[in-house]
Amino acid sequence: MAGQAADSRSSTSKSSMSEFWHGARFGLPVCIAVSPFGLLFGTLAMENGLSVIEAISMSAFVFGGASQMVGIELFGQKVAPWMIALSIFAVNFRHVLYSAAIGRYLSGWPLARQAVAFFLLTDAQYALAESQIQSGRKLTFARYMGAAVTSYLTWVATTVIGAIFGKLIPDTSAIGVDFLLPIYFLGLVMDFRRRPLWLPIVAVSAVASILAYRFVGSPWHVLLGALAGVALAVILPPSRSGIGAAPAQAVESRA
Amino acid sequence: MSSTFWVILAGALATYLTRIGGHLVISRLERIPPRVEAGLNAVPAAVLTTLVAPAVLTAGPAEWLALIVAGLVALRGGLLSMFIAGAVVLLIARQFMA
């Protein structure tokens, strides 16, 4: 019996290992795409007067690229400390939407695991988690962490490299690394194309984010554009969003 | 500890609040109203679009070509194959169109 228990434990740990690696493989494009930004952050942090330790702890504790860039920009300008913290909060405010949307699927996990998962909930991590759920696979903790831990370690490691060797890094735009994230995010947008109202939501968010980008400025276009798309789904009757009507009923009403 | 370090910690705490806050609010609700659920289901497409659209607008022909090819590959292939296709097209197009 003891042997059986050990067997089942080893098979569980083996399957959670494979889940972890599956998540890591799925998150590989994220690692490639964020690396230049990690290097850039490390380099710019030095130029704005942070120490290597401060740059690394910012990547390790905040773990949010855009907000860190804004943060070091303000450190360089010697603005009031509370203004810097508030700016980081403002840039990261979009995560409230991710947290509200993904929390439904994590609520079965033990609290400590949820607490860790929310800490690692970046743009890309959120999108990966949603697309796992979208494709009907179970979002296990191991799979979630496979993607999250690899991109976290990549982010911190590239920050270190940028901080120490930043001045030696050549111009990377010739090989196109600066545009890898938009391509990657387009792929994730396409992943959700079978969801109800996909096209109208994408159209409204695209127009709203472009207008906000022009007239309000970055990074507010993310929050304003997203809110416009979400508002559309809220305003339209729930039946249009595929909610409240079972598929069979929908077929009947159409017939 | 330096004041910079305290600002970093405050920024980290503020960020964590945004990452857990939405869930804390939603989990207070006993049942998620249909319109809220519809809104939450719209979040991924809505947010991800905002990360692409302004970049498309400010980009040039090389980037557009990469996005079109990647978008077409995405209709058939998976995320990784569309990403690689887009990156390769971008790399080649930048040599000729920059």
Residue A231 forms part of a structural domain: yes
Q: Is residue A253 assigned to a domain? A: no
Greater model confidence, A87 or A169? A87
What confidence tier does A157 reach under pLDDT thresholds 50, 70, 90?
A: very high
Q: What confidence tens digit (pLDDT) does each residue in A9-22 have? A: 555 666 889 999 99
Do A34 and A121 sit in the same domain of this protein? yes
Q: Which residues contact A4 (CB under 8 A, 6 or more apart)?
A: none
Judge if A155 and A237 occupy the same domain.
Answer: no
| pLDDT over 60 (residue A249) | no
CA-CA distance, A76 to B24, in Å (whole number)? 35
Domain end point (choices A148, A165, A192):
A192
Same domain for A75 and A162? Answer: yes
In this structure, the answer to whether residues A229 and A173 fall within a common structural domain is: no
Considering its fold, how many domains does chain A have in total?
2
Question: Based on the domain organization, do A70 and A135 belong to the same domain?
Answer: yes
Please determine, for residue A155, whether its predicted confidence score (pLDDT) is greater than 50.
yes
Q: Same domain, yes or no, for A39 and A71?
A: yes
Domain boundaries, given as residue ranges, for chain B: 1-30, 43-98
How does pLDDT run across A38-55, given as a tens digit for each residue? 988 898 888 888 999 999
What percentage of chain A carries pLDDT values higher than 70?
A: 85
First to last CA, chain B: 47
Whether residue A65 sits in one domain with residue A116? yes
- How far is Cα A131 from Cα A11, in angstroms, rounded to an integer? 26
Contact predicate A113/A142, CB 8 Å? no
From the list A31, A63, A54, the residue with the least C-alpha distance to A181 is A31
Q: Is A131 on the interface with B (CB under 8 A)?
A: yes
In chain B, the residue whose alpha carbon lies closest to the alpha carbon of A85 is B11
* Residue A252 maps to a domain: no
Report the distance separating Cα A206 and Cα B26, nearest Å.
26
User: Are B18 and A192 within 8 A, CB to CB?
Assistant: no
Same domain, A54 and A81: yes
* Residue A96: exposure state from Cβ atoms within 10 A (0-12, 13-18, ≥19): buried
Residue A3 counted as domain residue: no
Q: Is A28 on the interface with B (CB under 8 A)?
A: yes
Of A106, A130, A231, the CB nearest to B44: A130
Pair A65, A84 in one domain? yes
Q: Which residue range(s) make up the domain with A91?
A: 15-192
Q: Is B35 on the interface with A (CB under 8 A)?
A: yes
Contacts of B7 in chain A (CB under 8 A): 71, 75, 81, 84-85
Query: What would the pLDDT profile of B1-53 be if each residue is shown by its tens digit?
Result: 678 899 999 999 999 999 999 999 998 887 888 898 898 888 888 988 988 89
Q: Is residue A56 part of a domain?
A: yes
Nearest to B49 by CA among A49, A73, A200: A200
Q: Is residue A6 in a domain?
A: no
- The interface predicted TM-score (ipTM) is 0.86
SS (H, E, C) B15-66: HHHHHHHHHHHHCCCCCCCHHHHHHHHHHHHHHHHHHHHHHHHHCCHHHHHH
d(CA A42, CA A157): 10
Domain check: are A39 and A127 in the same one? yes
In a domain, A90, yes or no: yes
d(CA A103, CA A120) in angstroms, rounded, equals 13
The answer on A75 and A20 residing in a single domain is yes
Q: From the CA of B34, how many Å to the nearest CA of chain A? A: 6
Q: What pLDDT is recorded for position A11?
A: 57
CA distance B34 to B56: 33
Q: Give the residue from A153, A177, A192 where a domain finishes.
A: A192
Between B81 and A63, the higher pLDDT residue: A63
Q: Is residue A2 part of a domain?
A: no
Q: Are residues A156 and A233 in the same domain?
A: no
Hunting for tokens 């504790």 — which residue is that? A61
- Are the CB atoms for A27 and A126 separated by under 8 Å? no
